[in-house]
Amino acid sequence: MNLNSKIYIAGHRGMVGSAIWRTLSAKGYTNLIGISSTELDLRNQLAVREFMAKEQPEVVIDAAARVGGILANNNYPYQFIMENMLIQNNLIDSALQAGIEKFIFLGSSCIYPRLAPQPLKEDCLLTSELEPTNEWYAIAKITGVKACQAIRKQFGKDYVSLMPTNLYGTYDNFDLNTSHVLPAMMRKFHEAKINNHALVTLWGSGTPLREFLFVDDMAEAVVFALENKLPDYLYNVGTGVDLTIRQLAETIQKITGHQGDIIWDASKPDGTPRKLMDISKMHELGWKHKVDLEQGIQMTYDWFVEHVDQVKKVAL
């Protein structure tokens, strides 16, 4: 890569895509391409193929996806499997047809089996059943991983998949119906604080263990994959450290300044008991995260408070 290399970031306005864009810009990359969903529907195969053939980027970074937490996955299983497969398959195949040599596909730790040995290693993929609460999204992402692996095997192109742990940070989705656990908690505690420190009800028992990665660290991992030819097709990206959902709630409560009670609704699902990533492969190559969880939550909350009236679906 050089600083003038033409790089297309699919999903450049989302939390991950915008972080990648900022990181690349800060490093001096000047030829970045982004196009909004209103201008290019990534679910439209012909439109994506024509766009890729016309623009001829040297690299495609796929940060585009339909994402959400347990509630969204449970309520919209068809959209989660079909839309994600359409988006990624159109991007992957169009890149191949256009002769693009480098493709970075972003997935999720949910591709791994529900009860896989911890920490999760890349080679446990497809060894057992998935977590039912997000299997639709997981299956879609698995097909993307395998498509990139197939292209790598058959055509020798540098198509690599990065599987991040739970991501959070600036420009996250704070809508309570579709967001992930950390931003949802942050919004709940913030609203409860300004509502005379009202009690906060959270899903599940609080016992599942989760790992969280600040989105700017994920962007650095993408740049690392961009600037190096990684020898394997699949890499986990995370911190290697997890905590219980209860500990996460207490940390967010402290940072937001909420002083009310927390009620745990055990009638709601917990999801996978634990999802800790084995990140030794990325560490051996030279990438490591920089932002610890409490620091990252503080940075995210500072941004949330500053942009509370502008964040999508976050009206108080």
CATH number for position 247: 3.40.50.720
Q: Is 165 annotated as a binding residue?
A: yes
User: What mean pLDDT comes out for the span 249-254?
Assistant: 98
Instruction: Of 24-38, 72-86, 93-107, give the lowest mean pLDDT range.
Output: 72-86
Q: How far apart are CA 62 and CA 70, in angstroms?
A: 23
Q: Is 281 annotated as a binding residue?
A: no
Q: How far apart are CA 265 and CA 42, in angstroms?
A: 38
Percent above pLDDT 90 for the chain: 86
This prediction's pTM? 0.93
User: What mean pLDDT comes out for the span 114-135?
Assistant: 93
Task: Give the CA dihedral 27, 33, 37, 43, nearest 10 degrees.
Answer: -110
Q: Is residue 253 part of a domain?
A: yes
| pLDDT tens figures, 163-173 | 999 999 999 98
Q: Is residue 241 part of a domain?
A: yes
Find, among 173, 161, 157, 222, the residue nearest to 14 by Cα.
Answer: 173
Domain that holds residue 41: 7-306
Locate 269 and state its tokens.
């699902």
Q: Is residue 2 part of a domain?
A: no
Q: Is residue 85 part of a domain?
A: yes
Q: Is 17 annotated as a binding residue?
A: yes
Q: How far apart are CA 88 and CA 104, in angstroms?
A: 11
Q: Is residue 285 part of a domain?
A: yes
Q: Is 271 annotated as a binding residue?
A: no
Q: Is residue 124 part of a domain?
A: yes
What are the residue numbers of the active site?
Answer: 137
* Number of domains the chain contains: 1
pLDDT over 60 (residue 195): yes
Q: Element (H or E) spanning 152, and its range?
A: helix 135-155
Q: Is residue 56 part of a domain?
A: yes
Q: Strands (DSSP E) along the chain, which ranges? A: 7-10, 32-33, 59-62, 102-106, 158-164, 166-168, 200-203, 209-210, 212-214, 234-237, 243-244, 262-265
